[in-house]
Chains A and B, each alone.
Chain A
Amino acid sequence: MDYLPLASIVCAAFAVAFGAIGPALAEGRAVAAAMDAIARQPEAANTISRTLFVGLAMIETTAIYCLVIALLLLFANPLLG
């Protein structure tokens, strides 16, 4: 029995699952900090929210990297030929 496809699928799922934990926590902290900052300085809400979105996108990138790795494992696995 060939275990490679099975292992690839499991690893892809694990990559996405665990790769999502870190960015999720980070995004939560970032949003909380941004809310705090807006509550302190409502007049700076524009700048803060813009920076927040950019930062969220950057954080999300790590999850996207994991997704790319998972897709590579699923669709472009070099070991499967």
Chain B
Amino acid sequence: MNSPLDAVALFQIGPVPITQAILTTWGIMAVLLLGAFALTRRLTLTPGRRQAALELIVTTMDTQIRETTGAEPAPYRGFIGTLFLFILVANWSSLIPGLDPPTAQLETDAALAVLVFLSVIWFGVQGGGVAGYLRSFASPNVVMIPLNMLESVTRVFSMFVRLFGNVMSGVFVIGIVASLAGLLVPIPLMALDLLTGLVQAYIFAVLAMVFISATVEDGTPKSQKET
């Protein structure tokens, strides 16, 4: 049995080995972009079913962001929402026979985690400036600086392992079961996998949002926070 931790390079573009996960990611990107382009082509003032569904997605996203962090969703909507949609579609891509979800590969999850790490810095600097971002490490007091610095790495690493472990374990278990009894038996596990994929996508997005908003809040001076 192949190790789930290793990726097989299909071919190389220059120095870059192209794995199946990268190809699937490109496919997902194409599907998402084309779908979004096709769906948002004609937005009118009086929404039809299609537009109502789109607006429902956006509104739900806004509501979740507002509920979990209390922040205005507008600046974060693009990043968090795209993260959620991408992870969700990637997790569910295992429904297509012969495809492994890209999130079952270490590289994809690591890339997502790195992106969250960078986005925390990016939004923190945007919210309170460089000084504000650095000050956010001294919250709630100066003694916590080393712990906060450590935490900023470990929490991202935790997200990385969590997403990878969940998705990979689902794929792994299904692979084992399918190798034992091919027909119909894996179906309940696949259904469970769907739920896990949805919940993990939600958790990943919400955690990223929580980290970002915590950094922004800690970096904002007290006087501005009142406004």
CB neighbours (8 Å) of B165 from chain A are 61, 64-65, 67-68
Q: Determine, out of B11-19, B46-54, B200-208, B212-220, the stretch whose residues face the partner at the interface.
A: B200-208
Residues of A close to B172: CB separation below 8 A: 71
- Size band of the interface chain A makes with B: 10 to 19
Pairwise interchain contact A57-B196, C-beta atoms closer than 8 A: yes
CA A56 to CA B202, docked complex, whole Å: 13
Is chain A's interface secondary structure helix, strand, loop, or mixed overall? helix
Task: Say whether B166 faces chain A, with CB atoms less than 8 Å apart.
Answer: yes
B5 touches A75 (CB 8 A): yes
Please, which residues of chain B bring their CB within 8 A of the CB of A60?
166
B226: chain A residues at CB < 8 Å are none
Instruction: Please state if A65 and B196 are interface contacts (CB–CB under 8 Å).
Output: no
Interface majority SS on B: helix, strand, loop or mixed? helix
* Interface residues as binary, B168-212 with A (CB distance below 8 Å gives 1, 0 otherwise): 110010000000000000000000000110011011001000000
Contacting pair B5 A61 (CB below 8 A): no
Interface size on B, residues (CB 8 A): 20
Q: Which residues of B contact A68 (CB under 8 A)?
A: 161, 164-165, 168
Chain B residues with CB below 8 A from A76, complex form: 3, 5-6
Q: How far is the CA of A58 from the CA of B4 in the complex (A)?
A: 22
- Chain A window 56-81, contacts with chain B (Cβ cutoff 8 Å), 1 for yes, 0 for no: 11101100110110011001100000
CB pair A54–B199 under 8 Å, yes or no, is yes
In whole Å, how far is A9's beta carbon from the nearest beta carbon of chain B? 14
Contact B202 A54 (CB under 8 A): yes
Docked Cα-Cα span, A61 to B202, in Å, equals 14
C-alpha spacing A64/B158, complex, angstroms: 11
Are A65 and B161 in contact, with the CB atoms below 8 A?
yes
In the assembled complex, 11 residue pairs joining A and B whose CB atoms fall closer than 8 Å, in A order, are A54-B203, A57-B196, A57-B199, A57-B203, A58-B203, A64-B161, A64-B169, A67-B165, A68-B165, A71-B4, A76-B3
Report, nearest first, the 7 A-B pairs whose CB atoms are least far apart. Answer: A64-B165, A75-B3, A57-B199, A61-B162, A68-B165, A76-B5, A53-B199
Chain A residues in contact with chain B, CB under 8 A? Answer: 53-54, 56-58, 60-61, 64-65, 67-68, 71-72, 75-76
